[in-house]
A = this chain, B = another copy of it.
Amino acid sequence: MAPATSARQTRTYAASGVDFSKRAEALAALLRAARYRAPPSHGRPRDAPGHFAGIVRAGRETLALTTDTVGTKVLLAERLGRWEEVGEDAVAINVNDLAAVGARPVGIVDTILCGRPDARTFRALGRGLARGLRAARCSLLGGETAVVREIVRGIDLGATALGIFPRGRAPVLGARIRPGDRVVGVPSSGFHANGYTLVRRILEEAEVDLRRPRPGTRVSVGAELLYPTRTYSGIADTLADLPGVHGFAHMTGGGVRNLARLSDRARFVLDAWPPPPPLFGWLRDLGGISEREMYETFNMGIGFSLVVAESAIGAVRHRLARAGAPDAREIGRVEAGTGVTIPPLGLRYAGYAG
């Protein structure tokens, strides 16, 4: 994790309990050891560098598979006794990773690990899953519920999403991104399911009452923080076939740096990033977090980005409005180079990891 630009002492995400370098090192060791390539009759994987979804050609179709958990947001759900929101998150975070490669979701399996299964909690989780499935237009194909009280405290919640590239559609991986392209952002619905280890640490230290609203709002802080992840898979499905649509980014853990994952021959200049919703500034001030760390940890109001040819901007806007995203707006442009910059804030990120 890069050091904060600000001179004053800032809380780093590592200090809040997540050390990404250790994780990266361990993961690299696992991936080196796990290398095996199956014969073509058993699927032909396709490299999708910079993407979370894996892509495989199987039979006559190209498929995408991705898995993710809700992470420590479940601890907030537990504290508030509200499980529907994270149920919806479990679907949304996965179909959004499918969306980032242009795949259409065709099935979900969920995984719940728990100490004690409770019908009321599970019913709320189920309602949340249903909301997520409806938003993604995708069926629940199965799942696993494991009672493992010696391993899990409370509940861990994750899912895996299967997607397909409809006939004639190639995966949208970012290879066609070039200088002059525009970056269009679709707003988020809050923190989605990222950065909650840091969020919770800040709330605890500041002794925030989650049942009360922030100044100037009516909804409780708890409800604001739990708000489920917006689903972008319909948007990507509508836009993936449009000529001039060069890349999609799910703005998940890593914040704006998720754009850098799309290309190592492009610099994403985010010179028109809209002011983040007040919730983000409130948390920044409460925790004394630098702007740099805010933008590299949270989605800062934009949950999904599209990189499109300048000539396609009109058609993209039109389709976005029809696909349920009339709130999308241009947030930047592509230059030659690498990394991500936010000129109005003087921020520059070398890449996804730096």
Interface residue ranges, A against B (CB under 8 Å): 17-19, 22-23, 25-39, 41-43, 45, 52-56, 58-61, 63, 65-69, 71-72, 74-75, 87, 104-107, 109-113, 116-127, 129-130, 133-134, 137-156, 158, 160, 162, 164, 166-167, 197
Q: What is the CA–CA distance of A162 and B122 in the complex, to the nearest angstrom? A: 26
Is A67 a contact of B109 with CB atoms below 8 Å? yes
Is A42 a contact of B105 with CB atoms below 8 Å? yes
Q: What is the CA–CA distance of A29 and B125 in the complex, to the nearest angstrom? A: 9
Is A29 a contact of B162 with CB atoms below 8 Å? no
Say how far A121's CB is from chain B's closest CB, in angstroms. 7
**Across chains A and B, which 4 residue pairs bring their CB atoms closest together, nearest first?**
A54-B141, A33-B126, A43-B106, A26-B117
A141 surroundings in chain B (CB, below 8 A): 45, 54-56, 65
How many identical subunits does the complex contain? 2
Interface of A, helix, strand, loop or mixed by DSSP:
mixed
| Closest residue of B by beta carbon distance from A234 | B42
| Closest residue of B by beta carbon distance from A143 | B67
Q: A22-B116, A164-B58 are in contact. Are A42 and B104 (CB under 8 A)?
A: yes
Complex partner residue of A126 from B17, B19, B32, B125, CB under 8 angstroms: B32
A126 surroundings in chain B (CB, below 8 A): 29-34
A130 surroundings in chain B (CB, below 8 A): 33-36
Is B65 a contact of A30 with CB atoms below 8 Å? no
Q: A45-B141, A126-B34, A160-B65 are in contact. Are A26 and B121 (CB under 8 A)?
A: yes
